[in-house]
């Protein structure tokens, strides 16, 4: 039951101090100091981990004032819309995984964006040539904007499992948007990466290029338009967005992108209509379930591919013994299991309303065993590897040539929360790539997503059914992988990450590090990463390329290239946020120590 009234008022200010010790990341140049980031916090009473100290503090204050994990998750997410607007916000969507301590059950909300009703299978094809339009032209357009699901996710989660109203949960973020936040070097760098396309859209320029300039680290950036949008939503609820004046502004921005005077970029119009927003609904559904080394893993079912792909890879790895005593073999098996699972993901996973997705067979231990027989102690599989058929028993051991993986934007953000009663949330939300479509809704203070570019623009393999082509009302396939793990029926770990398709490998490698290689959760997060996604070369971070395991892996046939930058030009893979219930009853919140300038982990009562 929901409790009416205001539980809290939060002033997340520039003097905010992290909840637990540890060296802060480097601060911006002279000016207002950016709040300290602490990657690990241990204590009791509840925990929050996100990529930003402002948003983490918002969630912690909710917990300290009597809110539960769901209330804190929504407050944290709303604050991320202020402080991490290029990765998340009400112009996007996401996946919400919730563990209910009273019932011991895990439930999920699919808040993925949907295609407008007039979208067709050939909508990303050039009418003159019949070939896919250039990817950048699709991203920077109204054509890429899916019907947002984030606000509906928050409303559904609060009504189902929360204790406060939507308006109350939006309170901290509203104050942040009013008062402003300190610009970090990371935010400035992300803005610089998007400067050309941001300058093409008038309201985006006004929002994120104050005075026509890149925001300077140490200055204060305010967003009064978003504060007013949050106030309207607090007053009128989601109807203002899906059936009211905010929705009308979204439809206009998609259909007639608000170009800046003198802009030379061409932003194609999109298809979205008011009826698309009015008809949107989230999907409350059962999670995926798999087991690994006696641990139960609960994740997102399709339209996300996270639950099936991570689960299948772990089912493959369960046929082998991985240990820190032979890290080369452990990493070899991890890379090959990921290669195989991605081959199957590309063939089988899409929106289950539009194609038959064999979720159960993909997660069957027998199929994992079938596919595991492809991995030998020496030698690598040739990519792109052909998919197996989970519907045909004992068919997985036949190698072959498959299709290359399609592009997926690398941005997104993740948060985890837990409360004093043992409820847990793992929530990944996004507007797709950093900066989304670059279209800010005039006078509303938020960017619109480019999620529809997650569709395949054309069939990947001629003559083979493609589950991820565009269609009216369809959800594009996602790699978002929020997970909650139970051990002996009790919460153990919650985790997730941004990073497009590398989300899956980031979560998978972190689990291998923690469960098989015996690392602590903070060490498992900090460890150098490599991401194999059914391609000839494995993307890897510089620290992985400099590791002693590299030479041994190359002798086995593994080939590596430096990973591209996600949020800045720095080569990084993922930005994981997590928490763990420790054996002594304490909570450990853990965030990235360095990637994306470091995340922020806090607990209600530090130990």
pLDDT digits (tens, 9 = 90+) for 117-165: 999 999 999 999 999 999 999 999 999 999 999 999 999 999 999 999 9
363-397 as b/e: b if 16+ CB within 10 A: bbbebbbbbbebbeeeebbebbbbbbbbeeeeebe
Residue bearing tokens 């819309």: 81
CATH number at residue 419: 3.60.20.40
Average pLDDT of 207-218?
95
Domain interval for residue 499? 1-306+411-526+566-607
pLDDT digits (tens, 9 = 90+) for 282-317: 999 999 999 999 999 999 999 999 999 999 999 999
Rg for the chain, CA atoms, rounded: 22
Q: What angle do CA 353, 410, 51 make, to 5 degrees?
A: 105
Is 326 contained in some domain? no
Helix 69-83 / helix 171-179 crossing angle, nearest 10 deg: 20
Average pLDDT of 508-526?
98
What percent of the chain lies above the pLDDT cut of 90? 88
Is 241 contained in some domain? yes
CA distance 149 to 74: 13
Average pLDDT of 238-266?
97
Query: Please, what sign has the CA dihedral across residues 429, 241, 154, 186?
Result: positive
Is 519 contained in some domain? yes
On the question of pLDDT at 13 being above 80, the answer is no
Three-state DSSP at 323 gives coil
Is 348 contained in some domain? no
Is 394 contained in some domain? no
On the question of pLDDT at 19 being above 60, the answer is no
On the question of pLDDT at 430 being above 90, the answer is yes
The residues facing 591 across adjacent strands are: 577
Residue bearing tokens 């400067």: 195
β 560-562/538-540 pair status: parallel
CA distance 65 to 135: 46
For residue 12, name the pLDDT band (cuts at 50, 70, 90).
Answer: very low
* Best CA proximity match to 123, nearest among 398, 455, 411, 399: 455
For residue 22, name the pLDDT band (cuts at 50, 70, 90).
Answer: very low
Q: What is the DSSP letter of 67?
A: -
pLDDT of 566 reads 73
pLDDT digits (tens, 9 = 90+) for 49-105: 999 999 999 999 999 999 999 999 999 999 999 999 999 999 999 999 999 999 999
On the question of pLDDT at 6 being above 50, the answer is no
CA distance 183 to 352: 41
Whole-angstrom CA distances from 7 to 61, 155, 360, 440, 473 are: 10, 17, 42, 31, 38
Is 85 contained in some domain? yes
pTM of the model as a whole: 0.93
On the question of pLDDT at 28 being above 90, the answer is no
**Ramachandran area for residue 439 (φ above 0: left; ψ -120 to 50: alpha; else beta):** beta
Residue predicted with more confidence, 461 or 145: 145
Is 275 contained in some domain? yes
pLDDT of 408 reads 66
Average pLDDT of 6-30?
37
Residues with catalytic function: 412
CA distance 436 to 224: 20
CB contact set of 237 (below 8 Å; sequence gap of 6+): 155, 166
Find out whether 466 and 351 touch, Cβ atoms under 8 Å: no
Token pair in block for residue 8: 């809290």
Three-state DSSP at 330 gives helix
Question: Which of the residue ranges 410-419, 479-488, 550-559 would you say has the lowest mean pLDDT?
Answer: 410-419
pLDDT of 542 reads 97
β 424-430/413-419 pair status: antiparallel
| Helical (H) or strand (E) element with 574 | none
On the question of pLDDT at 411 being above 80, the answer is no
Is 51 contained in some domain? yes
Average pLDDT of 510-522?
98
pLDDT of 397 reads 86
Mean pLDDT of the chain: 93
pLDDT digits (tens, 9 = 90+) for 164-196: 999 999 999 999 999 999 999 999 999 999 999
Average pLDDT of 231-254?
98
Count the domains in the chain: 1
Token pair in block for residue 286: 């059962």
């Amino acid at each position: 039951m929901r409790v009416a009234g205001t539980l809290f008022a939060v002033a997340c200010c520039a003097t905010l101090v992290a909840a637990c010790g540890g060296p802060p990341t480097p601060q911006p140049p002279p000016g207002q100091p950016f709040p300290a980031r602490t990657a690990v916090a241990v204590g009791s009473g509840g925990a929050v981990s996100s990529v930003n100290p402002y948003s983490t503090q918002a969630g912690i204050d909710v917990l300290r004032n009597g809110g539960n994990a769901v209330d804190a998750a929504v407050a944290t997410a709303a604050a991320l819309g202020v402080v991490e607007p290029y990765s998340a916000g009400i112009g996007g969507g996401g996946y919400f995984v919730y563990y209910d301590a009273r019932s011991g059950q895990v439930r999920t909300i699919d808040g993925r964006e949907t295609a407008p009703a007039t979208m067709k299978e050939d909508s990303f094809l050039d009418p003159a040539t019949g070939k896919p339009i250039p990817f950048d032209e699709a991203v920077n357009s109204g054509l890429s904007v899916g019907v947002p699901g984030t606000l509906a996710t928050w409303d559904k989660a609060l009504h189902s499992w929360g204790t406060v109203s939507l308006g109350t949960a939006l309170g901290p973020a509203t104050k942040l948007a009013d008062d402003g936040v300190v610009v970090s070097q990371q935010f400035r760098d992300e803005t610089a990466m998007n400067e050309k396309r941001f300058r093409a859209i008038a309201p985006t320029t006004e929002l994120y290029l104050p005075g026509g300039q890149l925001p300077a680290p140490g200055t204060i950036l305010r967003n009064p338009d978003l504060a007013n949008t949050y106030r309207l939503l607090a007053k009128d609820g989601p109807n203002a967005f899906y059936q009211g004046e905010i929705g009308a502004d979204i439809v206009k921005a998609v259909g007639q992108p608000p170009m800046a005077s003198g802009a030379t970029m061409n932003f194609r119009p999109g298809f979205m209509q008011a009826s698309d927003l009015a008809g949107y609904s989230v999907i409350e559904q059962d999670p995926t379930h798999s087991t690994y080394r006696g641990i139960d893993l609960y994740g997102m079912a399709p339209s996300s591919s996270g639950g099936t792909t991570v689960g299948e890879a772990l089912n493959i790895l369960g046929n082998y013994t991985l240990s820190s005593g032979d890290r080369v073999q452990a990493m070899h098996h991890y890379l090959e299991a990921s290669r195989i699972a991605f081959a199957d993901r590309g063939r089988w996973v899409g929106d289950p309303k539009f194609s038959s997705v064999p979720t159960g067979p993909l997660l069957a231990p027998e199929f994992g065993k079938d596919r595991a027989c492809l991995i030998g102690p020496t030698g690598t599989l040739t990519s792109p590897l052909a998919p197996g058929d989970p519907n045909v028993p004992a068919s997985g051991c036949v190698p072959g040539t498959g299709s290359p993986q399609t592009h997926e934007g690398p941005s997104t953000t993740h948060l985890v929360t837990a409360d004093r009663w043992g409820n847990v949330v793992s929530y990944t939300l996004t507007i797709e790539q950093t900066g989304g479509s670059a279209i800010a809704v005039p006078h509303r203070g938020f960017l619109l997503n480019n999620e529809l570019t997650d569709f395949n623009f054309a069939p990947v393999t001629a003559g083979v059914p493609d589950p991820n082509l565009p269609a009216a009302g369809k959800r594009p396939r996602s790699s978002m992988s929020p997970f909650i793990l139970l051990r002996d029926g009790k919460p153990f770990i919650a985790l997730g990450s941004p990073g497009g398709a590398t989300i899956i490998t980031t979560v998978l490698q972190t689990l291998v590090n923690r469960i098989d290689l015996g690392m602590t959760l903070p060490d498992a997060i900090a460890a150098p990463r490599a991401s194999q996604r059914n391609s000839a070369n494995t993307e890897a971070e510089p620290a992985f390329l400099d590791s002693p395991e590299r030479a041994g892996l190359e002798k086995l046939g593994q080939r590596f290239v430096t990973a591209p930058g996600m949020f800045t030009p720095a080569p990084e893979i993922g930005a994981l946020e997590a928490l763990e219930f420790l054996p002594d009853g304490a909570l450990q919140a853990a965030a990235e120590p360095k990637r994306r300038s470091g995340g922020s982990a806090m607990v209600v009562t530090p130990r």
